[in-house]
């Protein structure tokens, strides 16, 4: 690994400009950091080069921790947007500058600069002065200069930003070729997604200091996880649909769930965001010609000729009621609209505004579901404060709104409970602007279950006393665990952050829900995951092999979600129980969150919870 950034942070005036960046870049890779202006791109590069001091975190270059080293000993080459070329030096002198300050003998310097001028296609221009060169040539000099002392890592900050389109294209191709030929690990920063696609082996998308997603250009274009990346890269259509037994409902239409998105059954009725790129929206003169899934009849609202094709805006009355995130609806627009791109049809007529057309979906993708909308049970005693703090931490980490729920018991007035809840809610709004609240009356577990059945929440957070351990996971909590259709988070003690998660996975089919949910939380919280399963010496070999397979599959799925994960096949030894083995692992690994299947018999869960005060996330098994 050439570059490893761990938890890298930088604040300016108390505001995070770079927020806990974790990134590993391989030897010889050309990595692109893509983000809008002010997203923190330059700050990250400057921290790697040693030009800006990080507030937190570490930087490793080629196995060496350089976090606190001076820039000149980090072995990085830097190319800036505004050519920082010495005006009073010739091209050759500029290129040789770094070698001269390192006391490299003259002949060696000459030889190197000749080589480099060949490489960057400036052969014969060594004696020229910068004022005699074009912008593109100046950037070639800057590149040659950065490469002169064979840096381990090349950093390029919008190197083509100041150039016109044609020169930019030429220089991109040169850069890619040079980078390949030298095999130098590079990070290029840009706000231009086309540039990112053309150059990047992988791309990391930055938004307001957060590294949202990392992937190959193809992954990020076709299968982005987040809405930001889906709309920032490439544009296209994002519609809010509803999961149903047959797939995804969009207004009066239903399309099947794409294979790649294995969604657990209990999410039926939940909202999902479906993304389709413009070229994957099919437009035909007649419905019988459709190859994709029909979205019914629409009409052309707008048609723009682009040479190779037509960019269309389509009105889709059959999708009435469907929320359209992208394209953003225009004021006064009557029906949902989608964008399509169709290749030119030299033999046929082009599409005209007002024309009736049949519209279908050829390919589409479901975005990762946002966060976990959580229901936090609050009863104004100490333990519920702990649940509240940790529950808010989970919803902050997953970016989902939370709802506070108070339940008025038989001897309480609902109005009194509501008044206290309003006060609490008001005091939390600054921390959680989307926080909602609700009050019910009746038995604890019954009311929570009723509230959950109404379908707005995906997670229930409850607190329990740290007090006498025999009472923890008492009767009402056990009733809730036995019946809840959504995961239940049990908090006994707050953890300041969620950075390590242990998934105690049942082997096989039932164990997929816990891996999936644990992974979702980990991804959002930037946590690493261990997936474990305990086996004993007497476990049959076939079963052990099955468990091993399951764990390997879990780790693969987690990696595919972009989560750091490892598996732990725990050997129980002869005298211990499953509970003891798991407890030992929980202590050893100092985990912030334990994820396990919702127990059908609560015996194991009860033992674990009573012997251990970490937060537990119980996931229903389908």
Beta carbon of residue 209, minimum distance to ligand ADP (angstroms, whole number): 7
Complex with Mg ion: residue 204 or 620, whichever CB lies closer: 204
Cα 271–chain centre separation? 19
The residues in 22-51 that bind ligand ADP, with binding defined as CB under 6 A, are: 35, 37-43
Q: Which residue has the tokens 């609490």?
A: 424
Contact between 158 and 187 under an 8 Å Cβ cutoff? The reply is no
Residue 399 DSSP one-character state: T
Distance in angstroms (rounded) separating the CA atoms of residues 36 and 206? 8
Beta carbon of residue 54, minimum distance to ligand ADP (angstroms, whole number): 12
Q: Give which of Mg ion, ligand ADP, none residue 487 binds (C-beta under 5 to 8 Å, depending on kind).
A: none
Contact between 248 and 254 under an 8 Å Cβ cutoff? The reply is yes
| Closest CA relative to residue 592, chosen from 563, 608, 616, 566 | 616
Beta carbon of residue 31, minimum distance to ligand ADP (angstroms, whole number): 15
User: Which bin fits 521, alpha (ψ -120 to 50), beta or left (φ > 0)?
Assistant: alpha
Q: Give which of ligand ADP, Mg ion, none residue 305 binds (C-beta under 5 to 8 Å, depending on kind).
A: none
Q: Does the protein bind ligand ADP through residue 190 (CB under 6 A)?
A: no
Complex with Mg ion: residue 17 or 498, whichever CB lies closer: 17
Q: Does the protein bind ligand ADP through residue 517 (CB under 6 A)?
A: no
Task: Give the one residue of 3, 5, 8, 17 binding ligand ADP; rule: CB under 6 A.
Answer: 17
Complex with ligand ADP: residue 129 or 228, whichever CB lies closer: 228
Q: Which tokens in the block code for residue 399?
A: 């970016």
Consecutive H or E run containing 421: helix 414-428
Q: Which tokens in the block code for residue 198?
A: 């053309």
Beta carbon of residue 13, minimum distance to ligand ADP (angstroms, whole number): 7
Q: Give which of ligand ADP, Mg ion, none residue 374 binds (C-beta under 5 to 8 Å, depending on kind).
A: none
Beta carbon of residue 587, minimum distance to Mg ion (angstroms, whole number): 45
Specify which residues 491 forms β-bridges with: 463
How many C-alpha atoms does 181 have within 13 Å on its Cβ side? 11
Complex with ligand ADP: residue 206 or 316, whichever CB lies closer: 206
Q: Does the protein bind ligand ADP through residue 12 (CB under 6 A)?
A: yes
Question: Pattern of binders to ligand ADP over 410-449, x per CB under 6 A?
Answer: ----------------------------------------
The residues in 591-610 that bind ligand ADP, with binding defined as CB under 6 A, are: none
Residue 199: helix, strand or coil by DSSP?
helix
Complex with ligand ADP: residue 36 or 269, whichever CB lies closer: 36
Beta carbon of residue 156, minimum distance to Mg ion (angstroms, whole number): 11
The residues near 408 (Cβ < 8 Å, ≥ 6 apart) are: 414, 416, 417, 439, 440, 441
Strands 210-215, 237-244: pairing kind: unpaired
Beta carbon of residue 11, minimum distance to Mg ion (angstroms, whole number): 17
Specify which residues 596 forms β-bridges with: 504, 618
**Contact set with ligand ADP (CB under 6 A):** 12, 17, 35, 37-43
């Amino acid at each position: 690994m050439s570059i490893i950034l761990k938890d890298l942070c930088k604040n300016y005036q108390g505001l995070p400009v770079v927020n806990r960046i974790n990134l590993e870049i391989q030897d010889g890779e050309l990595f692109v950091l893509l983000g809008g202006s002010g997203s923190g791109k330059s700050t990250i590069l400057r921290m790697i080069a040693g030009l800006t001091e990080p507030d937190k975190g570490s930087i490793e270059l080629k196995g060496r921790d350089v976090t606190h080293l001076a820039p000149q000993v980090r072995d990085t080459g830097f190319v800036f947007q505004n050519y920082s070329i010495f005006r009073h030096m010739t091209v050759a002198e500029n290129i040789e500058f770094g070698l001269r300050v390192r006391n490299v003998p003259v002949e060696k310097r000459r030889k190197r600069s000749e080589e480099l001028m060949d490489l960057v296609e400036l052969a014969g221009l060594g004696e020229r002065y910068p004022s005699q060169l074009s912008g593109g040539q100046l950037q070639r000099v800057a590149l040659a200069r950065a490469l002169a002392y064979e840096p381990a890592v090349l950093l390029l900050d919008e190197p083509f930003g100041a150039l016109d389109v044609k020169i930019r294209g030429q220089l991109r191709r040169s850069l890619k070729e040079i980078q390949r030929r030298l095999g130098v690990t590079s990070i290029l920063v840009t706000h231009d997604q086309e540039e990112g696609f053309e150059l990047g082996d992988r791309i990391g998308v930055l938004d307001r200091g957060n590294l949202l997603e990392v992937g190959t250009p193809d992954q990020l274009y076709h299968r982005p996880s987040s809405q930001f990346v889906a709309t920032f890269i490439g544009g296209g259509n994002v519609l809010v649909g509803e999961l149903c037994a047959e797939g995804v409902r969009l207004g009066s239409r239903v399309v099947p769930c794409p294979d790649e998105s294995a969604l657990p059954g209990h999410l039926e009725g939940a909202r999902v965001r479906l993304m389709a790129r413009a070229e994957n929206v099919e437009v035909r003169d007649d419905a019988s010609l459709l190859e994709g899934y029909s979205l019914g009849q629409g009409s052309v609202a707008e048609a723009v000729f682009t040479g190779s094709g037509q960019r269309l805006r389509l009105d889709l009355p059959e999708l009435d009621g469907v929320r359209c995130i992208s394209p953003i609806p225009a004021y006064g627009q009557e029906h949902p609209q989608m964008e399509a791109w169709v290749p030119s049809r030299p033999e046929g007529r082009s599409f005209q505004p007002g024309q009736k057309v049949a519209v279908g979906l050829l390919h589409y993708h479901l975005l990762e579901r946002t966060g976990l909308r959580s229901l936090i049970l609050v009863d104004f005693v100490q333990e519920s404060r702990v649940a509240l703090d940790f529950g808010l931490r989970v919803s902050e980490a997953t970016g989902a709104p939370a709802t506070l729920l108070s339940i008025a018991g038989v001897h309480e007035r609902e109005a009194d409970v509501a008044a206290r809840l309003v006060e609490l809610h008001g005091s939390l709004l600054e921390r959680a602007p989307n926080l909602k609240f609700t009050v019910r009356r009746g038995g604890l577990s019954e009311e929570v279950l009723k509230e959950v059945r109404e379908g707005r929440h995906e997670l229930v957070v409850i607190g329990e006393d740290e007090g006498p351990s025999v009472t923890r996971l008492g009767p009402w909590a056990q009733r809730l665990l036995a019946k809840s259709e959504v995961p239940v988070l049990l908090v006994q003690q707050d953890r300041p952050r969620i950075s390590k998660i242990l998934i105690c996975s049942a082997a096989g089919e039932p164990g997929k829900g816990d891996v999936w949910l644990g992974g979702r939380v980990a991804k959002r919280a930037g946590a690493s995951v261990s997936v474990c399963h305990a086996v004993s010496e007497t476990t049959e070999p076939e079963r052990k092999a099955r468990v091993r397979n399951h764990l390997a599959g879990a780790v693969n799925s987690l990696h595919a979600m972009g989560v750091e994960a490892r598996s732990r096949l725990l050997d129980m030894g002869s005298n211990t129980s499953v509970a003891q083995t798991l407890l030992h692992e929980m202590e050893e690994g100092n985990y912030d969150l334990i994820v396990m299947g919702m127990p059908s018999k609560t015996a194991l869960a009860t033992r674990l919870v009573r012997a251990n005060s970490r937060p537990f996330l119980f996931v229903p098994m389908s």
